[in-house]
Amino acid sequence: MKKPRRSAAWYGKNDKDGFIHRSWMKNQGFPDHAFDGRPIIGICNTWSELTPCNSGLRVLAEAVKRGVWEAGGFPVEFPVMSLGETQMKPTAMLFRNLLAMDVEESIRAYGIDGVVLLGGCDKTTPGQLMGAASVDLPTIVVSSGPMLNGKYRGQDIGSGTDVWKFSEAVRAGEMTLKDFMGAESGMSRSAGVCMTMGTASTMASLVEAMGLSLPTNAALPAVDARRTALAHLTGKRIVEMVEEDLPLSQILQKPNFENAILMNAAAGGSTNAVVHLLALAGRAGVELTLKDFEIASDIPLLVNCMPSGKYLMEDFCYAGGVPAVLAELRGSLRKAKTVLGGDIAAYADGAECFNRDVIFPLDAPLKPAAGLRVLRGNLAPDGAIIKPSAASEHLLKHEGRAHVFENIEDMKATIDSPDLDVDENTILVLKGCGPKGYPGMPEVGNMPIPRKLVERGVRDMIRVSDARMSGTAYGTVVLHVAPEAQAGGPLALVRTGDTIRLDARAGVLDLLVDEAELAARRAAWVADAPHYTRGYARLYIDHVLQADKGADLDFLVGKDTRPVTRESH
Ligand code: FES
């Protein structure tokens, strides 16, 4: 016998409650037959004018609705909190878990049978998926899609990546302020997310490789009519998923996560993917640890997109997009179910590459062994990460003297001082930017190169912190050091003048200070007073897990799939 629809508990009853649920919905002009027991599909939308990357989602929502109606469902769009990466302070990451709570409770409280997640900007994709995973209805993703390539003076310019480059060039006196300001309008010239392989396009690529969206979802430009058609087809498919009883948990299995890790390496994807995948796995009840990311250590870099390469997402789309990369990875891919009900290998069937300078073949890759490296040692007992594909080869094995910034304010106030006692061999250390310390773990790990060194032509140095970095950023940057300084991790004990050893290939990050000295420093250490004492930020500080656990809130891990039985009236 078929499982009764979840929505029947809201709209299928001929009593006072059924009257109330239906009658108020009818004020929008829905006819009786919308409540005849057909699947009710929630369209969970993070559209907002304060999240410019998601500004195209209203159009896509309408296309999803067309597909839902066509397949015999009843679409209902609802808003959730939106997170505009470039607009929010102190950092959008502080609110990823709040979005996840909003999504989870909205899905659970309303009488819907399946969900289409419309997201794109960095934290919206993982936040929506985390919330949806904790309710576990049939769920599918439509992403915003990337902006068209940025253009300035006849050249392609990439979101984020070129901002960092231009701003360093201005500091070095190599670019005028007028040119810098001029590039601003050419960089973001259509709806969509950052068109580099930053966090948004990384997460969209991983979503596709996990089988959580239809094929080609990640790379189709936001304004490409084919994305609107894909949204329509997604609307049709979610109705079928409800009929087939295909919940999200069947697609959030360990092999799906492993395929995401493989794709992240091949795409030169964002370091942020690590915290997001760990947090999502925690919701889904999948055992995933930093160690699992080592399965991709030998996966080469295939996608030649900024920040690890030179092209942009529009080029990636025209070259074949994620299906073409999956075709290259076919030998490594795990068997894993997708929203289409079959195996992920089907996403690569018939895929072709149309530009080998954008998507390299596995046997002649752009860079060998490009996967993120997990680092451990007495400076990061619970781990840290580095992205070798965006780093300087000569710095990946290095021993140097630390220069410590106690917090972000200290760094900003002193980094450009002519008296700063640093050279190109110095290792810059930044404390107080982990999940609890900032709070929210901002993207400041790629701290600027000190001006006196920039002026001498230095463009990269080793930087170590408990922060994250933007997916569009580059450099030899050690991130997510766990435990963070504010939680009393060894990072809190580092002092200027100490020696640090990094060996990225061997996975080592050590502080070369003897145990007795470290014990004395620990005895004298006191945590900084928390920056926030009320509201959501306080809740976050009190409950956030460390980076190696995905920085979710401890009480949000896991799921609750019980039916909602209590009535409101
Ligand atoms: Fe929104 Fe990059 S800032 S995707």
Question: Domain locations in the chain?
Answer: 11-149+189-348, 373-533+540-547
Ligand 1 atom closest to the Cα of residue 86 is: 3
Give the Å distance between the CA of 441 and the centre of ligand 1: 17
Ligand 1 atom closest to the Cα of residue 54 is: 1
What pLDDT does residue 154 have? Answer: 92
What pLDDT does residue 481 have? Answer: 98
Return the bridge partners of 384, or none: 375
For 32-65, how does the pLDDT look when each residue is reduced to its tens digit (9 = 90+)? 999 999 999 999 999 999 999 999 999 999 999 9
Which residue has tokens 């070129």?
162
Give burial (CB, 10 Å; 0-12/13-18/19+) of 464: buried
Would you state the CATH architecture of domain 373-533+540-547?
3-Layer(bba) Sandwich (3.50)
Which residue has tokens 């106690």?
406
Distance CA 411, CA 428 (A): 10
Give the Å distance between the CA of 48 and the centre of ligand 1: 13
Ligand 1 atom closest to the Cα of residue 201 is: 4
- Whether residue 468 contacts residue 275, with contact meaning beta carbons closer than 8 Å, is answered with yes
Phi-psi region of 422 (alpha: psi -120 to 50; beta: other; left: phi over 0): beta
For 272-297, how does the pLDDT look when each residue is reduced to its tens digit (9 = 90+)? 999 999 999 999 999 999 999 999 98
At residue 97, what is the residue type? Answer: N
Q: What is the largest CA-CA distance in the chain?
A: 78
User: Which residues form ligand 1's pocket by a CB distance below 6 Å?
Assistant: 53, 85-86, 121-122, 159, 193-194, 198, 200
Give the Å distance between the CA of 194 and the centre of ligand 1: 5
Query: Which of 121, 163, 468 for a ligand 1 pocket mutation test, highest count of atoms within 8 Å of Cβ?
Result: 121
Give the Å distance between the CA of 559 and the centre of ligand 1: 28
The model's pTM is: 0.97
- Whether residue 47 contacts residue 55, with contact meaning beta carbons closer than 8 Å, is answered with yes
Return the bridge partners of 150, or none: 157
* Positions of the chain with pLDDT under 50: none
DSSP string, 498-567: -EEEEETTTTEEEE---HHHHHHHHHH--PPPPS--SHHHHHHHHHBPPGGGTS-BGGGSS---PPP---
Give the Å distance between the CA of 184 and the centre of ligand 1: 15
Q: What is the homologous superfamily of the domain 11-149+189-348 according to CATH?
A: Response regulator (3.40.50.2300)
Ligand 1 atom closest to the Cα of residue 144 is: 4
Residue of the CA atom closest to atom 1 of ligand 1 = 121
Q: What is the CA radius of gyration of the chain?
A: 24
Give the Å distance between the CA of 193 and the centre of ligand 1: 5
Query: Which of 48, 51, 86 for a ligand 1 pocket mutation test, highest count of atoms within 8 Å of Cβ?
Result: 86
What pLDDT does residue 1 have? Answer: 62
Residue 401 vs residues 384, 406, 501: alpha-carbon distances, Å: 19, 16, 9
Reduced to 3 states, what is the DSSP secondary structure of residue 306? coil
DSSP string, 360-429: --TTS-SBSS-SPEEEEETTEEEEEEE-GGGS-GGGSEEEEEEEEESSHHHHHHHTT-TT----TT-EEE
Would you state the torsion angle of the CA atoms of residues 542, 547, 551, 557, taken in this order, to the nearest 10 degrees?
-100
Give the Å distance between the CA of 101 and the centre of ligand 1: 21
What pLDDT does residue 98 have? Answer: 98
Distance CA 114, CA 40 (A): 7
